[in-house]
Amino acid sequence: MQRCVVTLALVAMTVGSVAGVAGCGSSDSDGAADSSAGDGKTTQVTVGVIPIVDVAPLYLGQKQGFFSSRGIELKMVPAQGGAAIIPGVVSGQFQFGFSNTTSLMLAQTKGVPIKSVANGAASNGKVGADVTAVLVKKDSPIKSAKNLAGRTVAVNTLQNIGDTTVRESVRKDGGDPTKVEFVEIPFDQMPAALDDGRVDAAWMGEPAQTVAKGQGARVIASPFAETDPNLTLATYFTSTKTAQQDPALVKKFTEAMNESLEYASAHPDEARQILTGYTKISGEVLDELILPSWPTEVNTASLEKLAELGEQDGVFGDKKPDLGALFS
């Protein structure tokens, strides 16, 4: 991960603040795109991403030429989580970003000017074999989600889709979700944190959960699939300023992203292999890791449920996210 991740994460503690992010990460002078898409010129576009399996379609699309054929030259910049990427998009450091949907909803309720432009990833609906899972050490006394009450659970960023859906798994299993203590740890550091006993459990994406399983960890909950088997997990988004000032660029990015999602869905082996370019994983892990679903459309009903859970758990304060304005 690049050095700017720390700065972005600190800024994301108050999602509405974007001061301090403009100076990190990009090799361009200000990260701004050349808004010439559509006139035959190449537009340089920087995308803030999380180095997890969910963003494989973006890298595949770059490799297959779906973006370059539309005059877009991509540069991906890794960050710890979606909440850290949002300030970068608003400040203009990134033209587009990848974020979990809860973080996008939270940002909107704080008045952050963002707009979802393409789907990112969805749950595969398989309890026990979903793209994220809560894992514990092999000898842990924690047997199911309800036992997480009174325990520490690692998530990549606080107040996002991880702690929201983990609470729902605890709630559905008969436990008290208000008694779960969440700790912020990057995905790639979670297997070690769990193995060392620094946390009681960890909510991990891929490839982290497969790495942890290789160390003997076991799955005790599948929060995404248990919340909604068709849950829209994340989307690609831009600032409302970019959406208004350069609709041609946004249209081309959306078209290329949709083509990339379709390609990844049809070529899962290539989706696995592309991970070697932006994550540190072995061939053994590649064969075992679990893939999400990559539909081109968001699932509105699942987003409504996620918003309700966020309201129930006090994630959004006294405001409600406008799903129509954010995701339509």
- pLDDT tens digits, residue range 199-232? 999 999 998 999 999 999 999 999 999 999 999 9
Whether 268 has a pLDDT exceeding 70, the answer reads yes
15-18 long-range contacts, CB within 8 A, separation 24+: 15/83, 15/86, 15/87, 15/103, 15/106, 15/107, 15/110, 15/112, 16/107, 16/110, 16/111, 16/112, 17/87, 18/87, 18/88, 18/90, 18/91
Q: What is the mean pLDDT of residues 59-69?
A: 98
- pLDDT tens digits, residue range 107-166? 999 999 999 999 999 999 999 999 999 999 999 999 999 999 999 999 998 888 999 999
pLDDT of residue 73: 97
Other Cβ atoms less than 10 A from the Cβ of 251: the count is 15
Hey, what are 45's tokens?
Answer: 């576009």
Full-model pTM: 0.84
Asked which of 148-152, 182-186, 254-258, 282-286 is least confident by mean pLDDT, the reply is 282-286
Whether 35 has a pLDDT exceeding 80, the answer reads no
Give which of 46, 59, 98 is closest to 278, Cα–Cα. 59
Mean pLDDT, the chain, rounded, equals 88
**In degrees rounded to 5, what are phi and psi of residue 191?**
-55, -40
- pLDDT tens digits, residue range 149-179? 999 999 998 888 999 999 999 999 999 999 9
pLDDT of residue 59: 98
- pLDDT tens digits, residue range 248-263? 999 999 999 999 999 9
pLDDT of residue 5: 33
pLDDT of residue 40: 67
Domains and CATH numbers, the chain: 4-123+230-327 (3.40.190.10), 133-227 (3.40.190.10)
> Is pLDDT larger for residue 84 or for residue 62?
62
Whether 34 has a pLDDT exceeding 60, the answer reads no
pLDDT of residue 80: 76
Non-local (6+) Cβ contacts of 230 within 8 A are 122, 123, 125, 299, 301, 302
